[in-house]
Amino acid sequence: MKTEPSPITGKPMSLIAEPEKVAFRGEDYAYMHFCYLCADSGEKFTTMELDGLNTSQVYNAYREKHGYPFPDEIAALRAYYGVSAAMMSEIMGFGANQWRYYEDEKVPNESNARAIMSIRHKSVFVDFLNAAKIKIGDKAFDRVMRRLDGLPEYKRLSCPTIKSGYVSYSPIKTAAAIKYFISQLGSVFVTKMNKLLFYADFLKYKREGFGMTGLEYRAIKFGPVPNRFGAVYDKAEGVEYEDFVYPNGMSGTLLQSDEVPDMDVFSDVERQVLEEVSTRFAKSTAGEISEKSHQERGWKECSTGRCLIPYSYAFDMEG
């Protein structure tokens, strides 16, 4: 995260994080409050970027506690039904642009959240669509009904939690991230790839309060690894294994790919994070990056029980 000059002195300020509590919809939520400290004046300042990170932590904790849909599922539902955000607001009876706001992280009120969850069932969406026929017009109504004809039932995304970085698992982004690291570093041992993905996901969470791939990471003896990482790599399209044996008899598994990663699936921040992690560990061996991961507080505190590492530990990491 870039430094900021003090509005008072013009000198660079220090980025600090302090545990705080805030009330949201009548409930208290603990979070890490990020701000810049002007050393000379003692004043603290935030930016739009930091405000987004601070509020995301609170909003996500609220969504998880109450079982509300997360922004990625709200966007996925709209894509499934094939309508614009404005039309989705019309169909659901929300205010103008309300659906877009929910995709952009605004937390729905209780009635709207329940309505969104209900249209995971296609038959319920049809009821909303019929009720909105006059409002959206015959042409739009007929177009949506044609799409629904033969459309398979909606398959819900995995439920985001703090252990998935508050995003649903995305096999598309996971495969693209793996292929990106291979494209930058050449064939990559599984041991190293496990750590590259860990640092990319956790750094993304530290920047915006959301992970990137939705992978969960388990703290095992050799450092953090994606949960059931064998299946993760097996299902990564365009990625192949090759067993490599050293002259001394030691062996490892290399991940290879000839495919160009689809970087369009990533946001600007995600692309920046991938580049930073790739550059940072370009010359590190699998053993060196594993040793580095053993210094992370998240691994230290979760390794005894081989537990999943909550993404909140990202705030203890460098970068």
When pLDDT is averaged across residues 81-95 and rounded to a whole number, the result is 96
- Is residue 245 very low, low, confident or very high in pLDDT (cuts 50, 70, 90)? low
What confidence tens digit (pLDDT) does each residue in 265-315 have?
Answer: 999 999 999 999 999 999 999 999 999 999 999 999 999 999 999 999 999
Does the predicted model carry a pTM greater than 0.95? no
Q: Examine the pLDDT at 319 and tell me if it is beyond 80.
A: no
Q: Report the pLDDT averaged over residues 251-275.
A: 93
Arithmetic mean of pLDDT, 187-198: 95
247 pLDDT higher than 70 = no
DSSP-assigned letters across all residues of 220-287: ETTEEEETTHHHHHHTSTT-EEEEEE-TTS-EEEEEE--SPP-GGGS-HHHHHHHHHHHHHTTT--HH
pLDDT, tens only, 204-235: 999 999 999 999 999 999 899 999 999 999 99
pLDDT greater than 60 at residue 250? no
Looking at per-residue confidence, does 26 or 150 come out higher? Answer: 26
Residue 246: per-residue pLDDT: 60
Residues 220, 228 contacting (CB under 8 angstroms): no
Which pLDDT band, with edges at 50, 70 and 90, does 248 fall under? low
**Segment 126-174, tens digit of pLDDT:** 999 999 999 999 999 999 999 999 899 999 888 899 999 999 999 999 9
Residues 6+ apart with CB under 8 A from 51: none
The per-residue pLDDT for 235 is: 92
pLDDT tens, position by position, 92-101 = 999 989 999 9
- Please give the pLDDT value at position 158: 85
Report the pLDDT averaged over residues 93-122.
96
Predicted confidence at residue 282, as pLDDT, reads 96
CA distances from 71 to 60, 83, 116, 253 (A): 10, 16, 11, 36
At residue 180, φ and ψ (nearest 5 deg) are: -65, -50
- Model confidence at 82, in pLDDT bands (50, 70, 90)? very high
C-alpha span between 128 and 88 (Å, rounded): 10
